[in-house]
Amino acid sequence: MRAVQFAHVAGLAQRLAFCLAWGLALAILLTAGRAGAEPNAEPNAEDGAATRARAEAILRKAERDDDAFEFARALAHYDEGRALDPGNGRAARAEARAATLRAHAEGDFVPYAKLERVRRDPSLSSDPRVVEDLVHDAESFPAGLVRVEVWVMAAEACAHRLGRPLDAEALLARVVTDPLADRVVAQKAARDLVVLRLGRGDLAGAEDAVRAAGVRADPQLERDVHRAVRRRTMHSAAIVILAAMVLLALRAAALAVWRGGGARVRVAVARTWWIALAYAAWVAVGGALLASGYEAGTTKPFVYFGVVLLPLVLLARTWAAAGSESARARGGRAALCAMGALAAAFLVLEGVDVTFLDGMGL
């Protein structure tokens, strides 16, 4: 019995020793693995830092090439630096600049270099001879964005610095109709062209510019042109109405004097001049005080309209005293005088500040 127990205990001890041996061996292996991995950690970190530094140096070189107008080399360095370290702080800017360079690569960057040399130097972009030479050179440039941007830059110089708006219009017209022009660029060119033509009163030319831009025109642009045409029509109509009112009133007064009724007309006007003066003053002062509480500068239309209204009221009273007493004549005079007052108000608003008409939908 004791022999059996002893054998059982011996078996357990043997198994325990076997497990301990395997555990010890496994611990040694794990320790050796960690010891072998730790020395490699520092070289990997050092390699990452070296890569970042190299990418940084390449991207800096790309920027120097860009500043020196070496655009082909700059593009290659931008791409190399980004590929080497995509997480670099300069990578986003490098990607955007690389995309710009690729879009302007026609002619192996020669046209783009010519454009950038002028565009980056304010003294060159304001020199008429330099701008003319660049526009002339652009005639031989390959079709693409560079040629369009030359026209845009030259048009801006002609319109705002060189005092040659007609040359600016011709250049902008080319941008508007060039199929390779970016949609945003074409939209702005169309608006600038319309503004220039409206500024010199060429309404037909402004409408032509909108039609030439087609679907690339800003939808608001066509409405602005139509409004300008409508204002021109209203301006002409206002002048005709006022001229008709003055001529008819003077004709009636002259006939009254010729027929011996001049004294009657003078008495009628003398009795009402102070009423006309009070009414004009009420419109000018009352309107100005009311408007001054809303926005500075809005008092002018009321003051000017009050000044214009005084002679209109006196003229209307003269016409009433000298004209026919029939109901039809009185109705016609009243209608024309009312239209004359509205015409005068329109011309005053147009003359003081045309934006007042915008607020009225005119």
Tens of pLDDT, residues 228-238:
888 888 888 98
User: Is the separation of the CB atoms in 309 and 280 below 8 Å?
Assistant: yes
pLDDT at 41: 43
pLDDT at 2: 44
pLDDT at 148: 93
Q: How confident is the model over 24-30, as a mean pLDDT?
A: 48
- Report the range of poorest mean pLDDT among 33-47, 98-112, 300-314, 320-334: 33-47
**In the structure encoding, which two tokens stand for residue 144, read together?**
């693409």
Q: How confident is the model over 321-336, as a mean pLDDT?
A: 83
pLDDT at 94: 85
pLDDT at 110: 92
- Give the angle subtended at the CA of 205 by the CAs of 200 and 208, to the nearest 5°: 155
pLDDT at 147: 93
Distance CA 156, CA 141 (A): 20
Tens digit of each residue's pLDDT (9 = 90 or more) over 188-198: 999 999 989 98
The DSSP code sequence of 162-201 is S--HHHHHHHHHHHHH-TTS-HHHHHHHHHHHHHHHHHTT
User: Which residues make Cβ contacts (< 8 Å) with residue 221, sequence separation at least 6?
Assistant: 190, 191, 194, 210, 213
pLDDT at 307: 78
Distance CA 321, CA 102 (A): 80
Q: How confident is the model over 46-72, as a mean pLDDT?
A: 84
Mean pLDDT over the full length of the chain:
80
Q: How many CB atoms lie within 10 A of CB 7?
A: 9
Q: How many CB atoms lie within 10 A of CB 30?
A: 10
Tens digit of each residue's pLDDT (9 = 90 or more) over 131-189: 999 999 999 998 889 999 999 999 999 998 988 999 999 999 999 998 888 888 889 99
Residue found by looking up tokens 């292996």 in the block: 29
In the structure, what pLDDT confidence band is assigned to residue 294 with cuts at 50, 70 and 90? low
In the structure, what pLDDT confidence band is assigned to residue 15 with cuts at 50, 70 and 90? low
pLDDT at 53: 83
Q: Half-sphere exposure of residue 348, counting CA atoms within 13 Å on the CB side?
A: 20
Tens digit of each residue's pLDDT (9 = 90 or more) over 82-129: 888 887 777 888 899 989 989 898 889 999 999 999 999 999 989 999
DSSP secondary-structure letter at 106?
Answer: G
User: Is the separation of the CB atoms in 308 and 348 below 8 Å?
Assistant: yes
Distance CA 79, CA 97 (A): 10
Write down the H helix ranges in 68-144: 71-84, 91-103, 110-119, 122-125, 128-138
Q: How far is CA 156 from CA 104, 131, 169, 209, in A?
A: 20, 11, 10, 17
- Report the range of poorest mean pLDDT among 93-97, 197-201, 287-291: 287-291
Residue found by looking up tokens 């030439």 in the block: 212
Percent of the chain with pLDDT over 90: 20
Distance CA 55, CA 51 (A): 6
Q: How confident is the model over 9-26, as a mean pLDDT?
A: 48
Between 231 and 288, the more confident residue is 231
Write down the H helix ranges in the chain: 2-67, 71-84, 91-103, 110-119, 122-125, 128-138, 145-160, 165-177, 183-199, 203-213, 219-258, 262-281, 287-292, 300-322, 327-352, 355-359
User: Is the separation of the CB atoms in 256 and 229 below 8 Å?
Assistant: no
Q: How confident is the model over 235-261, as a mean pLDDT?
A: 86
